[in-house]
Amino acid sequence: MVNRNACILAGGMSRWGMREASLVDLFQEAAKDCLDFIPGLKPKAIDGFLVSSAYSGRCSFQVNLAPVIAERCGLQPTSVCARVDVLCAGGSTAILLAKALVESGNAEIVLVAGGEKLFTPQKWEVFYSELASIDHDWDAPHGLGLPPPYFAMIAKEHMRHYGTTKEQLARVSVANYFFGHDNPKAQMQKVLTLEEAMNAPSVVPPLTLYDCCPITDGAAACIVASEDKAKELTDKPLVYLRGCAQASQHSVSANHGGQHMADWPALRSAAEKAFKMAKLTPDQIDVAQVHDCFSISQIIEVEELGFCRKGEGGAFVCSGQNRIGSRIPINTDGGLLAVGHPFGGTGIRQGTEIMRQLQGTARHQVQDACFGLTHNLSGLNSEQTVIIYGREPAN
């Protein structure tokens, strides 16, 4: 059997933020931005479509979303047309599935799109709806579906076990806001000072306003295609999907499985498998996009992904090892904290940023970047998803 390599060869997004736009509007903006990346590619040449959205049914009253968005974007998919719902990891999961479809020969060109319309006229509904993200019988009655309290508990555990400080949390936000301040599609376009971050209003101690990502309307889209088809469509450097993995070891918070809440074995498991498939090690990754839904999550993720030792994530970011020119630049477009987080779109935005980094066209470019990584978590750390990209295939 001939090896088929999958590539990501285009990406785009709508403007993210609090939008006076429908869910369909957001997907159309993102699809157009993506397709403009490859002028010669016509929508009807795309044979596969995967759409990621968790809240379309509740917030937009639109289920069976895939054929609706496909038609509104001018697509007539013949290999697959399906919706993916893995909450915050939906976009990266859809990329993972597109890779499998292309490499198995079941599709040639797949448009992957993801996004949410989360803001509603009654703002309280946004937070109430998030209780649907977890086990509705067990954790939801206790309010654990609201992310800030849950991640505040995680932050306290990390502080107790490893001595992590509020300044180290704040340094994550300062760095990510710096990367996002000049991103025209980002929700939070501002430079954040350490003083502002340290003195921000409390949300759930020890988390303050800038430790939490905003609620966001927005969508993103990318094209995944076979290597041969990619060479026909673009003369830009190809970016290969070298390795990917997803691990889920629990749903109910009581079955977390780690030694404590700041210990994430599922992420270690997913990372190990993805690195093995990609034939790489953590020290070979040049740039990463991790799931900074809260500042503490980025601190834990750099540990579990192998960029530093367990317990040293706070010192890692406080010493600037996540900046360009240091150990490994992270969230170079602003991450969730600055760009925002429309659940189904985040993994696609991350993949597009890595594509641009490896093509040498990113806004905050990492010099000579060859390998990149994206990571998403979902719910109460229920799923962990890792994708590794490279300028060369793994085989």
**Span 36-54, average pLDDT:** 95
In the predicted structure, residue 88 carries a pLDDT above the cut 80:
yes
Q: How far apart are CA 48 and CA 68, in angstroms?
A: 14
**Span 81-99, average pLDDT:** 97
Backbone φ, ψ for residue 221 (5° rounding): -150, 150
**Span 387-391, average pLDDT:** 98
Q: For the residues of 162-222, what is the DSSP string, one character each? A: H---HHHHHHHHHHHHHHHTT-TT-S--S---HHHHHTSPEEETTEEGGGBPPP-BEEEEE
Task: Out of 256, 341, 364, 375, pick the active-site residue.
Answer: 341
At 353 the pLDDT is 98
In the predicted structure, residue 292 carries a pLDDT above the cut 50:
yes
pTM: 0.97
Residues 185-227 pLDDT 10s:
999 999 999 999 999 999 999 999 999 999 999 999 999 999 9
Q: How far apart are CA 380 and CA 267, in angstroms?
A: 13
161: annotated active-site residue? no
Give the helix/strand (H/E) hosting 83. Answer: strand 80-84
Residues 322-358 pLDDT 10s:
999 999 999 999 999 999 999 999 999 999 999 999 9
Domains within the chain, CATH numbers bracketed: 6-122+216-239 (3.40.47.10), 144-214+242-390 (3.40.47.10)
At 251 the pLDDT is 85
**Count of alpha carbons within 13 Å of 380, Cβ hemisphere only?**
28
3-state DSSP assignment of residue 367: coil
Q: For the residues of 25-54, what is the DSSP string, one character each? A: HHHHHHHHHHHTTSTT--GGG--EEEEE-S
Q: For the residues of 374-387, what is the DSSP string, one character each? A: EEEEETTTTEEEEE
At 381 the pLDDT is 87
Q: How confident is the model at residue 297 (pLDDT cuts 50, 70, 90)?
A: very high
**Span 165-186, average pLDDT:** 98
Q: How confident is the model at residue 1 (pLDDT cuts 50, 70, 90)?
A: very low
**Span 59-85, average pLDDT:** 96
In the predicted structure, residue 254 carries a pLDDT above the cut 90:
no
Q: How confident is the model at residue 2 (pLDDT cuts 50, 70, 90)?
A: low
Residues 105-120 pLDDT 10s:
999 999 999 999 998 7
**Span 246-263, average pLDDT:** 89
In the predicted structure, residue 57 carries a pLDDT above the cut 70:
yes
**Span 44-52, average pLDDT:** 97
Give ∠ CA 347-5-33 in degrees, rounded to 5: 40
158: annotated active-site residue? no
Sign of the Cα pseudo-torsion (342, 15, 20, 348, in order): negative
Q: How far apart are CA 104 and CA 82, in angstroms?
A: 17
Q: What length does the chain have?
A: 395
Output the CA–CA distances (angstroms, integers) from residue 205 to 145, 149, 156, 253, 336, in the order listed.
17, 8, 9, 20, 20
34: annotated active-site residue? no
pLDDT, averaged across the chain: 95
**Span 303-322, average pLDDT:** 97
At 40 the pLDDT is 87
**Span 3-22, average pLDDT:** 95
Q: How far apart are CA 69 and CA 180, in angstroms?
A: 28
Classify burial at 131, counting beta carbons within 10 Å of its beta carbon; exposed 0-12, middle 13-18, buried 19 or more.
middle
**Span 40-51, average pLDDT:** 95
Task: Out of 88, 212, 222, 244, pick the active-site residue.
Answer: 88
Which of 329, 349, 375 minimizes the C-alpha distance to 186?
349
Residues 242-253 pLDDT 10s:
999 999 988 888
Give the helix/strand (H/E) hosting 8. Answer: strand 6-13
At 249 the pLDDT is 85
Residues 18-32 pLDDT 10s:
999 999 999 999 999
The residue type of 44 is K
In the predicted structure, residue 139 carries a pLDDT above the cut 90:
no
